[in-house]
Chain A
Amino acid sequence: MKSRYASDRGLTARMTGTMFLLGLLYVVFIAVLIAIGLNAGFVLVFAVGLLFAQWYFSDSIALHSMGAREVTPEQAPQLHGIVDRLCAMAEMPKPRVAIADVDMPNAFATGRSPNRSVVCVTTGLLRRLDEQELEGVLSHELSHVAHRDVLVMTIASVAGVAAGFLTRMALWGGVGRRDSNTALVSLAIIAVSVLVYAVSFVLTRMLSRYRELSADRAGALLTGRPTALASALQKVSGDMAAIPTRDLRKAEAFNAFFFAPALAGGKSLAALFATHPPLEQRLEQLAKISTQLGT
């Protein structure tokens, strides 16, 4: 019996490579700090603690800051019906469903585990997309839940967050031994931390883009309708650029978990720092899946 759901080896390999580099960065960072003679333990504990809280309460934090409210099946029968069916197809527990009263068309899924997650759509999305497109977006979000993307991205950002803390502390003169070398050690710590922060930033963004592609892929395979997702992406991306940026800035901090990023930047450098892959790349992948399913 053949399977039409072959995984994308290239994508898997690139993602593995990125995660390996992030792990390596983490190890090198700690090794360098130890070599400099700094006890980095407290910084790491602090960074891990903060990220743990952010991950553990990710659902409440996201819902609260988006002003989203959870809806019951009676309040939103169509939305719940779609999620029910997708979860039955994917054999995953049903996440809570929420609606944010925001005109920007978008959706996000967050939560500490598939059993404790929430998927949220904005009223702007509900108004603009038809049923098939909405289902495409929800299947993308449910794939994020199934892939535990909140957890993966949180762990991926540990080195970067720790480096960020350390840079600030060193700038304030809070670290280093109190002897003649203090200034030199502080400088070294700042240099290393800034470097680690920069590399980690690029790598986590790269990982985020790969995970978006994975979610597109898994979502398209789940519904069997890659073109519906593609059309939703096109509609949403077109709208995003058309809406004034003033309202969008508020949502910027959540871009990593959104369906489509809320800010359109320039080209090259922006692409390196983007949380989401470019629209053309996502559409291209979906077209490929459509061919794979249809023949």
Chain B
Amino acid sequence: MGFFDSLLGRSEPPKPDLDQLFGLPSAAITLQVSLGALPTGAGSVAFRAPEGKAFADVVADVKQLLTATSDPDLEVTHDAFGYTWITVRASEITDVVNALHAINVSIQDAGFGPQLLCSLVGFERDGQRFALVYLYKRGSFYPFAPVTEPQRDSVLELQLRDLLRDDVNMEQDLTRWFPVWGAPGL
């Protein structure tokens, strides 16, 4: 936020960066080759649905658009924090990423870009599930490997950060790696 925005108490929610999401397929290849981890075929978008009809219309349109053009399996859920998640399931990770991107673009084009919280794509290795979480406002990814709440597999997370550094923009500030317990698509 700029000097004058601070001075005048004039902040507006920042806009998301959507393009980084397309780095996910190459990250998935790296994960498969180096870790033996495979995508679970699920991904999700979390956003803050503002009150009112305008946004409800946007979500309805997105669902219609996606079911008309392709057939990823869509599911809309609401979490305990008041955020809405659209979970996408498809066999190919590129299809998952494309569907996630389509959802994002629709929300952004309707003027609700600042409402996007994060996206995540699920992976699995030897029965352990983890996710790559994308932070829209920072345009960066971070790994989230839950064990049992509130425990995270920090070793695996740091390993993932170092492993994927060349494929996607990994979040360097560890305080931004907030846990998303029980997130749909994980």
Contacts and interface: CB of A to CB of B under 8 A. Distances in A.
Contacts of A278: none
B11 A293 contact: no
Contacts of B82: 131-132, 135, 223, 225
Interface in A208-232: 210-211, 214-215, 218, 221-227
Interface string A1-34: 1111101000010011001000000000000000
Given A4-B112, A218-B12, A294 B50 contact: yes
Of the listed residues A4, A84, A152, the one surrounded by the most CB atoms of chain B closer than 10 A to its CB is A4
A153 to B, nearest CB: 11
Interface in B46-67: 48-55
A227 B52 CA distance: 11
Interface in B1-40: 1, 5-14
Nearest to A82: B81
B165 interface: no
B137 A88 contact: yes
Given A3-B111, A89-B114, A218 B9 contact: yes
Interface string A219-248: 001111111000000000000000000000
Contacts of A224: 48-51, 55, 115
A166 B163 CA distance: 63
Contacts of A149: 9
Is the interface on chain B under 10, 10 to 19, 20 to 34, or 35 or more residues?
35 or more
Given A91-B138, A214-B10, A293 B48 contact: no
A73 interface: yes
A293 B55 CA distance: 8
A146 interface: yes
Interface string A110-136: 000000000000000000000110010
A89 B48 contact: yes
Counting contact residues on chain A (CB < 8 A from B), the size range is: 35 or more
B157 to A, nearest CB: 15
A211 B10 CA distance: 9
B81 A12 contact: no
Main secondary structure of the interface of A (DSSP, over half): helix
A81 B54 CA distance: 27
A131 B80 contact: yes
Interface in B78-114: 80-83, 108-109, 111-114
A85 B9 contact: no
B12 A91 contact: no
A146 B1 contact: yes
A93 B49 CA distance: 23
A152 B6 contact: yes
A210 B9 CA distance: 9
B81 A93 contact: no
A1 B109 CA distance: 6
B54 A293 contact: yes
A94 B80 contact: no
B114 A5 contact: yes
B168 interface: no
A222 B51 contact: no
A94 B55 CA distance: 28
B1 A5 contact: no
B175 A93 contact: yes
A84 B111 contact: no
A135 to B, nearest CB: 7
Contact of B12 (A5, A84, A215): A5
B135 interface: yes
Closest 10 CB pairs of A and B: A294-B52, A224-B50, A214-B9, A84-B178, A91-B137, A5-B12, A147-B9, A2-B111, A91-B14, A293-B50
Interface of B: 1, 5-14, 48-55, 80-83, 108-109, 111-115, 117-118, 135, 137-138, 149-150, 173, 175-176, 178-179
21 contacts: A7-B10, A12-B10, A77-B149, A84-B178, A88-B117, A88-B118, A89-B115, A91-B14, A94-B178, A135-B82, A143-B11, A146-B11, A152-B9, A214-B9, A218-B9, A218-B10, A218-B12, A223-B48, A224-B115, A225-B82, A294-B51
